[in-house]
Copies of this chain bind each other. A is one copy, B any other.
Amino acid sequence: MRNFDFYSPTYFVFGKDREAETGRYVKRFGGSRVLVVYGGQSAKRSGLLDRIMACLKEENLYAVELGGVKPNPRSGLVYEGIDLCRREKIDFILAVGGGSVIDTAKAIAIGVPYDGDFWDFFSGKVPEQALPVGTVLTIAASGSEGSPDSIITNEKTLEKNGAEADCLRPCFSVLDPALTESLPAYQTACGITDIMAHTFERYFTNTPDVEVTDRMLEGVLLAMLHEGRRVMDDPHNYEARANIMWAGMVCHNDIMGVGRQQDWNSHHLEHVLSAKYDCAHGAGLAVIMPAWMHYCAEHGGEKRLAQMAVRVFGCQMDFDEPKRTALEGIEAFRAFLRSIGMPLTFAEIGADPADIPELVEMNHIGDGKTGGYIGLDKQAHFDIYNFAAGSCVPET
């Protein structure tokens, strides 16, 4: 196990109707003039936004709204939010929504106290201060409610980049699973895929002797298989949604990712898909992850894939040919993704195989390699996109 630091100071307020306490927590964490960031019309239509504004008012907090965050959130709204905060002397940012809303709130939070262009922090500069951010989560997927990350797409360049720093961890997050019950099935399934991806990105590692985090990650995956199926069968299963919501947080606040090299190739490979085709991040991951796993199985990574197959998907170990077990596990994963309604092919997310050279260019690989588990050079990126585009067509 490697040396590491772990720090997750977010206060989690979990359960039915807990969003009614939001105002109290904004106050507790020092807010008095609040920017409320949200997405589209659903927060308005559902009445959630009104309830949040009312509970802020009850605590005598001043609040300004900023709506319009879209999936794969864009830099434009961040600039707008920074201006608004400065004009209104905002001292606290409250995100009401999913990962896109939270990531936008975080980007605004580091932009406000910074003299330069906030994009600097998405180009390598490490943020050291930020306005405090609180969240009311409405989609279980990104883990941004407990993570130190924000991911924003630059409108001009279509680059989809991340910023990471402890000051980006929310000071509190309200997690009410009931708020996710109204999500369309497709979005629920995309969230399940994203949560499993965050788990896999940590699971696939070359660091030896990480049994305790391995076993915890496998535990989350097992729970996701079970609860994922339950929630797809019954979208109003509060209990399944509660398990998924907590899984989304624990798999991404990094308590199970510490002390080990992580991979993140699937995310690298996916980001250009959702940036170019504006597909859901989870959908892009469903297309990329099994293809990436196939590549790893063929290029020396079969041992951990076999471990995943046995421990998570209940496959029988082939002690003579571990690769067979690995491939069986990948097929089981693909079957699960298909069972929850996820796309598995380029065509299903509106991607065009003819764009593959451009996608590879967008990954800025140069002569290097990306990722941790199996390093991927330019050719490997080609191969994986090609595999995802062609030979990996599922039999449904």
Residues of B within 8 A of A7 (CB): 9-12
Q: Are B6 and A12 in contact (CB under 8 A)?
A: yes
- A6-B12, A210-B243, A211-B243 given; 9 more Cβ-contact pairs under 8 Å: A1-B243, A7-B11, A208-B239, A211-B226, A212-B243, A214-B219, A215-B219, A216-B219, A255-B255
Least CB distance from A17 to B in Å reads: 8
Whether A13 sits at the interface, judged by CB under 8 Å, is yes
**Separation of A106 and B300 alpha carbons in the complex (Å):** 50
Residues of B within 8 A of A214 (CB): 219, 223
Whether A213 sits at the interface, judged by CB under 8 Å, is yes
Residues of B within 8 A of A215 (CB): 218-220, 222-223
Residues of B within 8 A of A255 (CB): 250, 255
Whether A53 sits at the interface, judged by CB under 8 Å, is no
Q: Are B9 and A14 in contact (CB under 8 A)?
A: no
Residues of B within 8 A of A10 (CB): 7
Whether A186 sits at the interface, judged by CB under 8 Å, is no
Q: List 18 A-B contacts (CB under 8 A).
A: A1-B242, A1-B246, A3-B16, A4-B14, A4-B15, A5-B11, A9-B11, A209-B242, A210-B243, A212-B219, A212-B224, A212-B243, A215-B220, A216-B220, A217-B219, A242-B259, A250-B255, A255-B255
Q: Are A246 and B3 in contact (CB under 8 A)?
A: no
Residues of B within 8 A of A243 (CB): 1, 209-212
Q: How many copies does the complex hold?
A: 2
Q: Are A5 and B9 in contact (CB under 8 A)?
A: no
Known: A220-B215, A227-B212, A255-B255. A6 touches B2 (CB 8 A): no
Least CB distance from A111 to B in Å reads: 25
Q: Would you list the 7 A-B pairs with minimal beta carbon distance, nearest first?
A: A3-B15, A215-B219, A209-B239, A219-B219, A9-B9, A212-B223, A1-B242
Which A residues between 1 and 59 are near B, CB-CB below 8 angstroms? 1-16, 18
**Separation of A11 and B8 alpha carbons in the complex (Å):** 8
Least CB distance from A171 to B in Å reads: 10
Residues of B within 8 A of A208 (CB): 239
**Separation of A151 and B217 alpha carbons in the complex (Å):** 31
Q: Are B5 and A250 in contact (CB under 8 A)?
A: no
Whether A258 sits at the interface, judged by CB under 8 Å, is yes
